[in-house]
Amino acid sequence: MESDPPSQPVDELELAVGLARIRTMMRLLDVPRDLSITSLSTLANLERLGPRRLTELAAMEGVTQPAMTQLVSRLEREELAERRPDPSDGRAVVVAVTQHGRAELARRRAVQAKRLAELLAEVPAADRAAIAAALPALERLAARAHGLADSPAPVPEVSE
């Protein structure tokens, strides 16, 4: 759907190395340890995309369905998310983030943002600019990996 000129200016191998380091960096920036990475990522997806089926969430996170069942149970126990029946399918469960879940996400992001700001302050201004410029592109890249990304209807979301 969009372009692929002759040359690709990206060294994918170097990108793989760099993004792996970013991954480690984010792990180090993480707020203590009371919620797993996968749980947080799932919460973030729910916030971004709206309520989703359990199986769908499992696929997005690249974990098995039983793992997602347990993960959602944990989220529910802490009232960060909730299960709802699917009116169109009695077998299915629709998972939605709660207000508390949103607040928790915001809280953690604020902490990470603060730490990121400290790191950013240590690199050249040109680096900050390059990172800021690439951020939307990185988001779009990440969206591709989700398989579904933002596409399947963001859903207005019923407030709780």
Q: What is the DSSP string of 10-60?
A: --HHHHHHHHHHHHHHHHHHS--SSS-HHHHHHHHHHHHH-SEEHHHHHHH
- How many residues are given for the chain? 160
30: phi then psi, degrees, rounded to nearest 5: -55, 145
Of positions 17, 18, 26, 65, contacts DNA by CB under 7 A:
65
Partner from DNA, its own copies, none binding residue 33, C-beta < 5-8 Å depending on class: DNA
| Binding region for DNA (CB under 7 A) out of 15-23, 55-63, 103-111, 129-137 | 55-63
Question: Do 102 and 125 contact (CB within 8 A), yes or no?
Answer: no
**Token code pair at residue 15:** 């990108």
* Residue (74 or 114) nearer to DNA, CB: 74
CB of residue 46 to DNA, shortest distance in Å: 13
Which positions from 69 through 98 interact with DNA, judged by CB under 7 A? 69-74, 83, 86, 89-94
Catalog residues that contact DNA under the rule CB under 7 A. Answer: 33, 35-39, 53-56, 62-67, 69-74, 83, 86, 89-94
